[in-house]
């Protein structure tokens, strides 16, 4: 039973769909940490709407963050510029 569960978990972890979904999720989270230096649900946000928006956009572009223009949007955001100045 344990070996069977381990095989199932391994198949899930090695699934391309699962990996892509988790990679996109981690990428969006790292942009919040790196560019805005905050959690996605911290002020000025009070929920995960912004995070969800970017995750859906990245997913819509099949993980192509350049085409989704996420990094560019973070760099020109009022929040980023207020904290760090113009890029």
Between 16-31 and 2-13, two packed helices, what is the crossing angle to 10 degrees?
Answer: 60
What pLDDT is attached to residue 34?
93
Phi–psi pair at 2, nearest 5 degrees: -65, -40
Per-domain residue ranges of the chain: 16-84
pLDDT tens digits, 21-55: 788 999 999 999 999 999 999 999 999 999 999 99
Average pLDDT in the chain: 89
Euclidean distance between CA atoms 33 and 18, whole angstroms: 23
Do the Cβ atoms of 55 and 24 come closer than 8 Å?
yes
């Amino acid at each position: 039973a344990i070996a069977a569960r381990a095989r199932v978990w391994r198949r899930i972890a090695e699934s391309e769909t699962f990996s892509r979904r988790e990679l996109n999720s981690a990428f969006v989270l790292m942009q919040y940490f790196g560019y805005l230096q905050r959690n996605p649900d911290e002020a000025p946000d009070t929920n995960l709407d912004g995070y969800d928006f970017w995750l859906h956009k990245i997913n819509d572009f099949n993980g192509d963050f350049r085409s989704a223009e996420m990094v560019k949007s973070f760099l020109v955001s009022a929040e980023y510029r207020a904290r760090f100045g113009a890029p």
